[in-house]
Structure 1
Amino acid sequence: MNRVIVYVVLLVTSFVFAQEDHKELYKGNEAFKGKKYIASEADYRVSASSDKDVKAASQYNLGNSIYRLNQPGEAKFKYLEATTSAKTKEEKHKAFHNLGNTLMLEKNYQAAVESYKNALRNNPYDEQTRYNYALAKKFLKENPPKSGGGGNDKDKNKDQDQDKNKDQDQQDKKENNDKKDQNKEGDKEDKGNPQPQGADKQKIENILEAVNNAEKKIQEKVNERKEKGVRIQTDKDW
Structure 2
Amino acid sequence: MRNLLIILLCFQVGITFSQEEDRAEIIAEADRYVANGNEVLQKDGNFPKAEGEYRKAISKNPIDAVAKYNLANAYYNTEKYDEANNRYVEAAKTATTKKEKHKAFHNQGNTFMEQKKYKEAVEAYKNALRNNPKDDETRYNLALAKKMLEKQQNEDKGGDGDKDKDQNKDDNKDKENKDKKDGENKEDKKEGGDEKDQKGDEGEDKKDEKGKDEEDKQDDPNEDGKEKKKDNKEGEGKPEEKKQQPQQVQGQLSPQQVKSLLEAMNNEERKVQDKINAKKAKGAKTKTEKDW
TM-score normalised by structure 2 residue count: 0.41
Higher relative contact order (CA 8 A, sep 6+): 2
TM-score normalised by structure 1 residue count: 0.50
